[in-house]
Homo-oligomer: A and B are copies of this chain.
Amino acid sequence: MIVTIVSIEVKPENLQEFIEASIENHLHSIKEPLNLRFDILQSTNNPSCFTFYEAYETEEGVAAHKLTPHYLKWRSTVEAWMANPRQGKPHKVISPKDIEQWR
């Protein structure tokens, strides 16, 4: 399993449209065959800061996501709304190790 934690800062004037585009991306991403989770979170202390928590069964799943029409649409749609470049950090899972607990 691989979990990518993506940190995104959005321009304050684009928050609502960013949220809408990201919910659409979420709804498609969770249907990908190797996706386990695709959570979208908003910082309580700084509503301009978002985190995407993207869990996939394999590296192939991570790579396949980046080729999907919904990801490519999301990426081009939100590009102009970013306050600075987003950062994605890959992680390996310590707990829970049982993949059934991720489904």
Binding site for B on A (CB under 8 A): 2-3, 5, 19, 22-23, 26-27, 30, 38-45, 50-51, 53, 89-96
Contacts and interface: CB of A to CB of B under 8 A. Distances in A.
A93 to B, nearest CB: 6
B96 A41 contact: no
So how many copies of this chain end up in the complex? 2
B26 A91 contact: no
26 contacts: A3-B39, A3-B41, A5-B41, A5-B51, A22-B94, A23-B95, A26-B95, A26-B96, A27-B95, A38-B95, A39-B95, A39-B96, A40-B93, A40-B94, A40-B95, A41-B93, A42-B91, A42-B92, A42-B93, A42-B94, A43-B89, A43-B91, A44-B89, A44-B90, A50-B94, A53-B53
